[in-house]
Amino acid sequence: MITEQLMRAGRFDVRLMGNAPYRIWAAVDQFDHIVITPTRLSDPSLFTNSAILNAAIYTGVITGKPTKKSFTGQGLAYWLGTEDGRGSIYETPVTFTNDNLSTVIAGLLPSSIASGTITTASTTNLYYVFRYITPREAIHFACRCMGAEWRINPTGTLDAATASTLFVTTPTTVITRNSGGRDGARAYQGVSATEINVAQDADGYTTKAIVIGQKGDGAEFTVGTASAAVTKKDLYNNNVVFKRLVDAPDTPSTSISNLATNVLAQYPEKRQHLTLSSDTYAVPIIVKPGDYVYVYDQEAGLYDSGRQLRWRGELTSPVKLRCKEYTWPIQRGMGVYVRRSGATPTYTDITDYVSYEDGEPTSWVVGSGRNDPEQDPTLLGPAFLGKNADILARITDPDYISYTPTTTNVSSGALTASYRLRGKKCEIQIAFSAGTVTAAGAVSLTLPTGITASAIQPVVVNNGTAHYAGRVSSGTLFFYADINGASFAATNSVAAIRITGTFRVS
């Protein structure tokens, strides 16, 4: 069975028949990949690697062999980070300063996953420094901050964009109890559900999300809010008020409103959580986790009188819900291959020896409820896998990052320079051990690449006994001969100068 989940690795298990020969089960090893196509390929050796992956409906990473003729594993999101927090953890800070989604994803992806289609439209830019977390946590957090989501394709590429761009939001799939197949006049795909279990609750209902964000963005902390329209009344006919406070100390000010909007959307007035079963062949062909579907079952209360859809010649009123997860069987007719990486990847066709799961239903999880992982507030922080959150909590400040500024009007000597970012606040430390002014005027240094002061802002300049005037403007730091901003004379010494400052960046 194959389990696929929205923005998670999911899992799979494959069993071979008892008569599977040694050459088949011995060809399967940990960190090989399982590749499944909806129909069998005549001979995988006749196809290129890219052609096979493009035809695949599922690719997963083999991580275990419980027996010599069975193997298990997870989806390709495994390469971004495991549930216990292992992966390509960033030991060196990865810094973003007003970068768009495409730049952020490119900077965070490990070499085990390639960049796919990244759509920056309708997303915000990011200021953040990532360290000591996995790419999965970093990408998940960055997308939340920027108003985006992500998915990994069977080709091993990651797409990222707003949910409305990345997934189907105008459903073409209709789930009912008795009508599968297609409606030719409407181009809808029907799914006949053999069982629909409905859970409804208002336990998470939130009328206003208040997100308390990062310190140091020009105030003690930053706050982002989002409010919902209220239609319910309390005992005295007042509007129902349930405000939700979210502690998000790592979220920069530029992203705080986005996060508040995302949090509010997770806790609607009524959560509907469905589990259902269907006899659906190769479900990834018609729906992906993250897509919206129509569900209609009037007896179960699954109807929306404000929506009308003509389906199979009848007027229905389906609800629109999001598919979060499904588990589907490996069935006869599919192609099943084991892929081993190399300079030229090799494929072993195990289709003839798979113990198929014909007759097993496809199980769906649709909508949101108490068990929806996205309802977990711990996911709002950058670290949420294994012990990573505890470790990151011990790092109260990001590390300073060294950089080499370009100097103007000073020669000789040596200097060291470093900076660190907290949201839209930049802190700098620069030290001249010796130097000589080359011409009358101010001395200037460039700021780190990509960091531009939002206005002319002062910085502290001194040599231990005397103070000098200093300021940042655009991408440059200037300092002068005294506290009043007088010009240096040519040949003035700038030995033992220390510059520290905190300024907002645009």
Instruction: Give the C-alpha separation, 429 to 415, whole Å.
Output: 10
For the chain, the distance separating the N- and C-terminal CA atoms, rounded to the nearest angstrom, is 50
Same domain, 407 and 491: yes
Would you state the pLDDT for residue 181?
A: 60
Percent of the chain with pLDDT over 90: 40
Residue 356 is encoded by which pair of tokens? 């198929």
Determine, yes or no, domain membership for 243: yes
**Does the predicted TM-score (pTM) go above 0.85?**
no
Residue 255 is encoded by which pair of tokens? 């992203």
Would you state the pLDDT for residue 309?
A: 80
Same domain, 483 and 378: no
* pLDDT tens digits, one per residue of 106-165: 999 999 999 999 999 988 888 888 889 999 999 999 998 888 999 999 999 999 999 999
Among the three residues 341, 361, 394, which one is the final residue of a domain in this structure?
394
Beta-bridge mates of residue 498: 431, 462
- How confident is residue 89, by pLDDT bands cut at 50, 70 and 90? very high
Determine, yes or no, domain membership for 158: no
DSSP state of 308: -
CATH number of the CATH domain containing 423: 2.60.40
Phi, psi of 330 (to 5 degrees): -85, 115
Q: Which long-range contacts (CB under 8 A, 24 or more apart) does 175-184 make?
A: 175/276, 175/278, 175/293, 175/294, 175/295, 175/296, 175/364, 175/366, 176/295, 176/296, 176/297, 176/311, 176/316, 176/318, 177/297, 179/311, 179/312, 180/278, 180/279, 180/280, 183/311, 183/312
Among 5-9, 328-332, 384-388, 439-443, the minimum mean pLDDT is found in 384-388
Would you state the pLDDT for residue 302?
A: 78
**Burial (CB count within 10 angstroms: exposed 0-12, middle 13-18, buried 19+), residue 432:** buried
Among the three residues 345, 373, 394, which one is the final residue of a domain in this structure?
394
Determine, yes or no, domain membership for 136: no
- How confident is residue 223, by pLDDT bands cut at 50, 70 and 90? confident
Beta strand pairing call for 173-176 and 188-201: parallel
CB atoms within 10 A of CB 372: 18
DSSP state of 453: B
Same domain, 69 and 181: yes
Instruction: Give the C-alpha separation, 422 to 382, whole Å.
Output: 14
Same domain, 227 and 173: no
Same domain, 58 and 191: yes
Same domain, 298 and 316: yes
Residues 294/318, Cβ–Cβ less than 8 Å: yes
Same domain, 38 and 175: yes
Determine, yes or no, domain membership for 258: yes
Residue 181 is encoded by which pair of tokens? 């197949």
Determine, yes or no, domain membership for 275: yes
- How confident is residue 460, by pLDDT bands cut at 50, 70 and 90? very high
Would you state the pLDDT for residue 113?
A: 95
Would you state the pLDDT for residue 288?
A: 93
Same domain, 405 and 382: no
* pLDDT tens digits, one per residue of 46-76: 899 999 999 999 999 999 988 888 999 999 9
More confident residue, 428 or 257: 428
**Can you spell out the DSSP letters for 354-411?**
B---TTPPEEEEEE--TT-GGG-GGGGSS--STTHHHHHHH--SPPPEE--PPEESEE
Determine, yes or no, domain membership for 107: no
Of the spans 221-230, 417-426, 494-503, which averages the highest pLDDT? Answer: 494-503
User: In sequence order, what E strands does 172-227 have?
Assistant: 173-176, 181-183, 188-201, 208-212, 223-227
Would you state the pLDDT for residue 31?
A: 92
Q: What is the mean pLDDT of residues 11-39?
A: 91
Determine, yes or no, domain membership for 91: no
Same domain, 333 and 197: yes
Among the three residues 394, 425, 449, which one is the final residue of a domain in this structure?
394
- How confident is residue 387, by pLDDT bands cut at 50, 70 and 90? confident
Q: What is the mean pLDDT of residues 297-301?
A: 75
Instruction: Decide if pLDDT at 348 tops 70.
Output: yes
267 φ/ψ sector (left φ>0, alpha ψ -120 to 50, else beta): beta
Which residues have a Cβ under 8 Å from the Cβ of 498 and sit 6 or more positions away? Answer: 430, 431, 432, 461, 462, 463, 464
Instruction: Decide if pLDDT at 296 tops 90.
Output: no
**Can you spell out the DSSP letters for 28-45?**
--TT-EEEEESS--S-GG
For residue 21, the enclosing domain spans 2-83+166-202+270-394
What's the chain's average pLDDT? 86
Would you state the pLDDT for residue 232?
A: 82
Per the structure, how many domains does the chain have? 3
> In angstroms, how far is CA 100 from the centroid of its own chain?
14
Determine, yes or no, domain membership for 105: no
Would you state the pLDDT for residue 167?
A: 94
- How confident is residue 327, by pLDDT bands cut at 50, 70 and 90? very high
Residues 131/398, Cβ–Cβ less than 8 Å: yes
Residues 231/270, Cβ–Cβ less than 8 Å: no
Same domain, 463 and 405: yes
- How confident is residue 369, by pLDDT bands cut at 50, 70 and 90? low
Which residues have a Cβ under 8 Å from the Cβ of 93 and sit 6 or more positions away? Answer: 129, 130, 131, 398, 399, 401
Residues 289/325, Cβ–Cβ less than 8 Å: yes
Same domain, 356 and 382: yes
Same domain, 321 and 182: yes
Radius of gyration, alpha carbons of the chain:
28
* pLDDT tens digits, one per residue of 173-186: 888 876 666 665 55
Nearest Cα to Cα of residue 415 among 425, 398, 426, 403: 403
Reported residue count of the chain is 506
